[in-house]
Structure 1
Amino acid sequence: MASWRVYLFLVLANLFWSGNYVVGNLLAGGISPLQLTAIRWAIATPFLVVLAVLLEKPDWHAALREWPMHLVQAALGLIAFCLFSYQALAHTTALNAALVGATNPVLIALVAALLVRERIRRTSSLGLVTSLLGVLLILTDGKLLEVFTTEYNVGGLWMLGAVMVWTVYTILGRTLKTAPVTSAALQSAIAAIVLAPVTLLVGGPITLDSAGWWGVLYIGLFPSVLSLMLWNISVKKIGAGRAGIYLNLMPLFTALMALAMGTPITLVQVLGGALVIAGVWLTSRPVRTVPVAPGSHIAFDAKGSEVRPVR
């Protein structure tokens, strides 16, 4: 049974990632997606290294033996996902990008079930459907038929690429033997090292004011350090499928941030947010066990049906 801290970690990770989209949107025009991605990981790397040393006391030599996988993970989750997301928001509407992004939890759960045989419980399936319905209500303002009539432009394709690489990043994350914070530190360092010369060669002028640089610092610390660390820890604990459902919290958090900035929230958005939370709760419900013999239990789902023997 996972600790309640794991679910808190997932909520915080998605809260900070929501802030990344809000702040990143405000920075658009003053810094390119490549520059923002490179600077965020350059800022994050020393903090992640310090956290890894304090929390995990890693054997760096052992961790570096997995360097090919860390390289792949850095390329997927830290470089490609960020670049694809920023490119998507530069070429499409928020509705198009968010609708594509809302498929991420479902895709993670399905791929996890197919490739690493993570079992999808009935309550988890119901939670996936419920939270996805909530996301679609929020994004379409209750006009669910827009899901079928919206035309996806090049930005939608960029966002689809972001969804796919994040799915692979999340699934592969469970195969690493390296501790999660140490993994994040190594991958962040790889991303910073790879992007630095590329950014110097092709990056244009940065025209941010002091407030803009504070925004860059936020992105380099909260979404990059804390979210990545908390996400990797949670995936290790509860699996990619169950963790992925929490990505549906980002539209809810984004709506709340908009409310804090003076944008009114509609009844449809409130209903959608309630469905998202209900879906997360359904997916997070633990399987209960009943002892039947020494060293053996039978697991039951929420309806009391037998699930599997546990030994």
Structure 2
Amino acid sequence: MTTLDPTARRSLVVSNLICLASMVIWSAGLPAADLIIPHMPPIALTACRALLAAAVLLPIWWMIEGGKVVLGANWLRGAWVGFVTLGLASFFVIIALQYNDPVTVAIVSAIMPVIGILLECLADHRPFTRALAVGLVLSVAGGLIAVSGADGEVSFGIGVLAALASVTFYTWGSRETVKAFPDLTPLGRSTITIAGGAIVATLAALADGTLRGHWPDWAAIGWVEFGGLAAFSIGSMAIAQLLWIVSVGRIGIGAASMHMNAVPFYVMLMVFLMGGPWNWAQTVGAAIVVTGAAIAQGLIGGKRA
């Protein structure tokens, strides 16, 4: 067993605390999104969310690192990675929240480590082991149990598939954000993908509004709804994404994605503190998902897969 020196141990602890903070802030955005989702079409909400996040990060990046760095960055690549990482991922999470409650979406999102391992198998030729297979089965089973125990009408099709699509795009995009911009700082990587994604999402939203008349219901959006949008945008996207990219750059996508397993508990606790019920089916489902992801990563039952 390798023994870490005090400096390395402190660095590892700080990196994991940064990742934990990212997950907590991201989790808070899921219940907040319920305040704005009824009043904005998914594509328009995706665009507004990315635009608000970019409006916060872009001036900070410019002031800290200078216009030369900002203008000299690969914006075309940033638009592509941002479109996948935050555009498509955000769009599908909004669709998922329309069909399922925030806790269920968070539980489905907790299989992110398993999806990350699958991407590594395809991209890096990582072997598909028995532990990985067991982890995948348990993760899917736990997600189904969580969905079946959610309150109200739950879609076993669109809602769950949208959540899975969101996690898949976000996992791929997180790896690509770090790999595609090796010369940029975490602030630069986060900002260029968010701003790039915002440009693409805005064009899509304008086309959707022009061609199909899907515009936000501005008359229904007051301070409360705008507060939900701000939490979903500035908090759950700008701040959480910056902290997330910092942690991915330090400890890698595999270790960072393990923290996603705790998201269902953060969301469930937030909903409970806001007066919502405690759902034991979702608790059991979350526990099974966490167990499956842990087995797939080799944290339970032997060596790392």
TM-score by length of 2: 0.73
SS of 1:11 mapped into structure 2? helix
**Quick check: which one's strand share is greater?**
1
Is the 2:178–2:189 Cα contact (8 Å) retained in structure 1? no
Q: Deviations over 1:121-166 (max 9, x none)?
A: 99x979x78x9599659826889xxxxxx97323333233222211
1:292 alignment counterpart: none
Following the alignment from structure 1 to structure 2, what is the Cα–Cα distance between the partners of residues 230 and 119?
30
**Quick check: which one's helix share is greater?**
2
Is the 2:107–2:264 Cα contact (8 Å) retained in structure 1? no
2:174 aligns with one of 170, 178, 181:
170
Moved more, 269-278 or 109-118: 269-278
2:81 alignment counterpart: 73
Following the alignment from structure 2 to structure 1, what is the Cα–Cα distance between the partners of residues 197 and 253?
22
1:21 alignment counterpart: 30
Any stretches of 5+ residues in structure 2 without a counterpart? 1-7
Aligned pairs for 1:58-207 within 5 A = 60=69, 64=73, 66-90=74-98, 92-94=99-101, 97=105, 100-116=108-124, 132=139, 136=143, 139=146, 152-176=156-180, 177=182, 178-201=184-207, 202=209, 203-204=214-215, 205-206=217-218, 207=220
Q: Deviations over 1:55-78 (max 9, x none)?
A: 6668526852x3343122111111
1:49 aligns with 2:58: yes
**Percent of paired sites with the same residue:** 22
Aligned residue type for 1:34: I
Following the alignment from structure 1 to structure 2, what is the Cα–Cα distance between the partners of residues 134 and 59?
50
Q: Which is greater in Rg? A: 1
Following the alignment from structure 1 to structure 2, what is the Cα–Cα distance between the partners of residues 188 and 104?
20
Aligned-pair CA distance for 1:87: 1.5
1:238 aligns with one of 224, 231, 251:
251
Q: 1:141 and 1:159, CA in 2 relative to 1: closer, same or farther beyond 3 A?
A: closer
Aligned-pair CA distance for 1:93: 3.1
Indicate the RMSD between aligned Cα atoms, in angstroms.
4.1
Is the 2:31–2:267 Cα contact (8 Å) retained in structure 1? yes
Following the alignment from structure 1 to structure 2, what is the Cα–Cα distance between the partners of residues 137 and 197?
36
2:267 aligns with one of 232, 254, 261:
254
Any stretches of 5+ residues in structure 1 without a counterpart? 144-149, 287-301
TM-score by length of 1: 0.72
Q: 1:226 and 1:108, CA in 2 relative to 1: closer, same or farther beyond 3 A?
A: same
